[in-house]
Amino acid sequence: MRVFVLSKRKTILSFTISILTLCVYVWNVRIAPTIAGTYFMIHTSQKVIALTFDDGPDSDFTEAILDILNQKHVKATFFVIGKNVSQNPSLLRRMVTEGHEIGNHGYTHSYGQRTLTDELKQTDQSVYSATGTHTHFYRPPGGYVTKNQIEMIKDQGYVVTLWSVDSRDWRRPGVEGIVSNVAQKAFPGAIVLLHDGGGYRSQTVSAVERLIDQLNAEVYRFVTLSELQTFKDGMSANSN
């Protein structure tokens, strides 16, 4: 009987841990992008959408994505990691030259955020050194951000930016999966999460061109995050 009780307790403990893990996942992927005080979409009747790329720049994948965007005459926003900027300044200059926008994604992609202010400043300085421009939008790694951190980030002059459509390319679901994850959930005023670094992003590279073609066929226009804000019909859901 005692063995049975211990097994039951272990089962309950295991189940509880699984539920907590699921809650963390749901918070990060589903709930986090709608936190009050963050920019994750705009309300608009016009079919505009913003493609955003995290974790670059990467000498292979970012360059390939920039080639596609240039061929398709599409502008996007890149949330760069400061330490990667230092290794690929020419990619940052190309982004600016070709009309893309650069966002701040921290210096080391730290989830702890204990040195949040320092990471913001370090990355902004790296971007400025490479391009002569400053960053305005900040996306916390993984979308993890607290209310206090939001206020801290705003005090630094940044707009805390999340997303409303997750491509889930970080799970490497295949090219079809990435395209489907975005195309099926796209809506006017959406911000799409993609990645050009932080791992092997060949699936994302292959998906970008097809995704652009499909959304173009649905009469969407692609804009940067700054441009997206100009299309809002009224007060945005992110302005709480």
Active site residues: 54, 195
Q: Give the ranges where the chain is alpha helix by DSSP (H).
A: 2-26, 61-72, 82-87, 89-97, 116-131, 147-155, 175-183, 202-217, 225-229
Q: Which two tokens stand for residue 239?
A: 């302005």
CB of 40 closer than 8 Å to CB of 163: yes
Rounded distance between C-alpha atoms, residue 164 and residue 186, angstroms: 9
CB of 59 closer than 8 Å to CB of 197: no
